[in-house]
Structure 1
Amino acid sequence: MLVFTATKQEADIVTRKLIEAKISVACIHGDFQQRQRISALEGFRAGKHQVLVATNIAARGLDVEGISHVINYDVPDNPENYVHRIGRTARAEAEGDAITLVTPDDEAMIYRIEYVLGYKIERKTLPDFDYDVPVPSWARPSPESLLRKREQSRSLADRWRSMSGGRRR
């Protein structure tokens, strides 16, 4: 299983939580030296780790056979990254699943991804999940990810305004 996060901090948090759950996990992101990333990737390929947690650094060029699931812990920041992330599963005509965790704040990006892909992404809610439980402090978005989402929203709004002749309605 391959889990993608938007930030290095989130990758570290997810990795820590998986370790606490006694799941064999490796993590790769930009703070690791190349040799550390290679070692983590080789351990994942060899089956030493059940899960590889990564930022987009691993989405491109990552070629590992047998990845059955890709989990997008965060919605990718653009459709191209979505395609590269989910493309890590079902390689060479094998089957695999991609799951993206989506909050109401992510809906605009999901619609944009669907528009680029040309099809709707299947939505599922967990019937027994209590969606009203407060978010634990370790899972709250970092100021950096909130700023990134704010910039994305502005960018989408600016593009929409330019497409509609610059008028606000």
Structure 2
Amino acid sequence: MSKKKFTDGLESLFTIDNEKDVSGKGTAFLRNPSGKEEAKTAVKKRSSSRKTFTTDLDSLLEEALQESFDEQMARRESEKATDRSKYQKQARRPMTGLDMLIRRTVEKGTIEEDRKTGTKRLTVALNKNKILKLKKIARLKKAYLKDILGELVGEYIERYEKERGDI
């Protein structure tokens, strides 16, 4: 037997016929775009000519809610601005693994107190021999190295001010 071919007469399935109005019927890809506009204009609802109490009430409540919403948003923005200026969050990665098990040795309260007293961290590169001698002096005095360096800097500033006047 030979194969049957059904190609004859099927072109009408794949073309859009403008003469036929398919708006509102069938699937979306068969609808005529100009038919959509016509259907929308024909379906418009007619509004009632009398006023209703609910529409007036809705408009009144909408205005009141909008005003209170605007006030709340303005208040929140001002609070956020003051909060941002007080505390700056430091971006940190979340702790995982061993970092979760290790607890912090420096408390936040001590860091804030240092900021209030005016102390600042300083990194200094010195000769190894001088550092070893400073460490020995600190052990003999039973004091911290930072305290000894603080005393040295203070004495130097006093001597400088005596010689050349206030800075």
TM-score range with shorter-chain normalisation? under 0.3
Could you say which structure has the larger radius of gyration? Answer: 2
Structure with the greater relative contact order (CA < 8 A, sep ≥ 6): 1 or 2? 1
- Larger strand fraction of residues: 1
- Larger helix fraction of residues: 2
* TM-score (structure 2 length as normaliser): 0.20
* TM-score (structure 1 length as normaliser): 0.20
